Amino acid sequence: KQSVVIAGGGSTYTAGIVMMLIENQDKFPLRKLKFYDNNEERQSIVARACEVIVKERAPEIEFLATTDPEEAFTDVDFVMAHIRVGGLSMREKDEKIPLKYGVVGQETCGPGGMAYGMRSIPGVIELIDYMEKYSPNAWMLNYSNPAAIVAEATRRMRPNAKIINICDMPVAIKKSIADIVGLESESEIVDRYYGLNHFGWWTEMTDKQGNDLVPKLKEHVAKYGYAAAGDEENPLLEESSWMDTFQKAKDVYAIDPTTVPNTYLKYYLYPDYVVAHANPNYTRANEVMDNREKNVFAECERIAAAQTAEDTTIEAGEHAEFIVQLAGALAYNTYERMLLIVKNEGAIANLDDDAMVEVPCIVSKRGYEPLCMGKIPHFQKGMIEQQVAVEKLVVDAFEEKSYQKLWQAMTLSKTVPSASVAKQILDEMIEANTEWWPEL
């Protein structure tokens, strides 16, 4: 049986992850479940409810929530990390500052992602250090954003750490694809995919019997993107801005119909469209604060007061299932095939070895082994190399405390039109992040 600490106990996703862990006790049995957060107030709201849930549904699991790193990280097999350094109020700034200058405002893409990256790097490194100090044999499964920049930073700054960076977006898209092609679950899809986090393309997709799913999928994507009748049931789409992203995949697909794209490419290929359809005064951070955060916290408080979660509306976080799959593969040697963010080392043959790429990997007790995706075409290679440079420059800027490097990173991003716009955004972001960034 496993001992898990969730770092980011106060996240609005945590209760859904707990539900999902409980539902998967047959595949991934737990002896201990701990929450760790540096924000005691937020964590205790979620923890008081989860304590009731665990007692009611899986009383054999020992549960505790703490803000003490030693208590949190001692005797754990897995650290599941999903921290948001600066919280949703800083996400709001990441999104709104670029929009003021007519640039995409998004938590992982463009200048917003870079600002968030500069905040996340020390937070994630701190978690690795706690893990190595108190449970040196544990694995850290990291899905803290912006995953691409965080992955580059951990590769450089903690090269031997047992950390696996993973993102739920490919899984979420594959869930829609499964619906489109008529499969029950995305786990029946065997895929070939290459790129970076939030920046990739599928080249092949079959079911487990080897039947090609791509022709039917392409026919659909060309018309509707990944949206479909029935998509209202997809938890990612319940709030409006995701619907647009899934629909816009149609235009992302149009520019290279030999592949099938990740939805996030819309921010790089159609930034003008994204900005034109954004409300600079009300962004995704506002949607999340006004909806998910309010609802989840209210429900947690209701459970804690009632001391029962029998009729709770909190559901097993579907898009967190992949974390259990990953942990299960490492613990029980299942040789699961999963898309992970790993050092390239030849997986994309015509790309630098030290780029952090997202490709299929086989996961077992030995860790992960990336599969070789071969050479990629000029269009994707050009885009990927530009974006890799952006991500590397952000980590350079963090390590060297360099204004110049961050200015270069912002200028090089496909979402930013010029060095002068990049400078204006950067200067405002420095002001907004004085509490979080190293002094540049």
Binding residues for ligand G6P (CB under 6 A):
108, 145, 167-169, 284, 288
- Nearest approach in angstroms of CB 210 to ligand G6P is 29
- Nearest approach in angstroms of CB 305 to ligand G6P is 27
**Sequence letter at residue 208:** K
d(CA 121, CA 263): 25
Residue nearest to ligand G6P (CB): 169
- Nearest approach in angstroms of CB 29 to ligand G6P is 27
Name the catalytic one among 194, 264, 267, 268: 264
- Sign of the CA dihedral running 223, 226, 232, 236: negative
- Nearest approach in angstroms of CB 311 to ligand G6P is 25
d(CA 114, CA 105): 11
DSSP-derived letter for residue 282 is S
The answer to whether 143 touches 166, Cβ cutoff 8 Å, is: yes
238 or 345, CB closer to ligand G6P? 238
- Nearest approach in angstroms of CB 150 to ligand G6P is 11
* Helix (H) or strand (E) segment spanning residue 63: strand 62-66
169 or 177, CB closer to ligand G6P? 169
268 belongs to the catalytic site: no
d(CA 13, CA 82): 9
Q: Identify whether 377 is preceded by a cis peptide bond (ω within 30 of 0).
A: no
14 or 145, CB closer to ligand G6P? 145
**Nearest CA-CA partner of 205 in 229, 224, 187:** 187
289 or 412, CB closer to ligand G6P? 289
d(CA 65, CA 113): 30
The answer to whether 5 touches 134, Cβ cutoff 8 Å, is: no
**Length of the chain, please?**
440
145 or 344, CB closer to ligand G6P? 145
d(CA 214, CA 206): 7
66 or 245, CB closer to ligand G6P? 245
DSSP-derived letter for residue 207 is -
24 or 108, CB closer to ligand G6P? 108
Distance of CA 271 to the CA centre of its chain: 21
Q: How many CB atoms lie within 10 A of CB 211?
A: 11
256 belongs to the catalytic site: no
d(CA 84, CA 81): 10
Name the catalytic one among 37, 77, 94, 168: 168
d(CA 162, CA 143): 14
- Nearest approach in angstroms of CB 341 to ligand G6P is 11
**Sequence letter at residue 119:** R
CA–CA distances in Å: residue 247 to residues 98, 253, 264, 317, 377? 24, 11, 12, 23, 25
Residues assigned a catalytic role: 168, 264
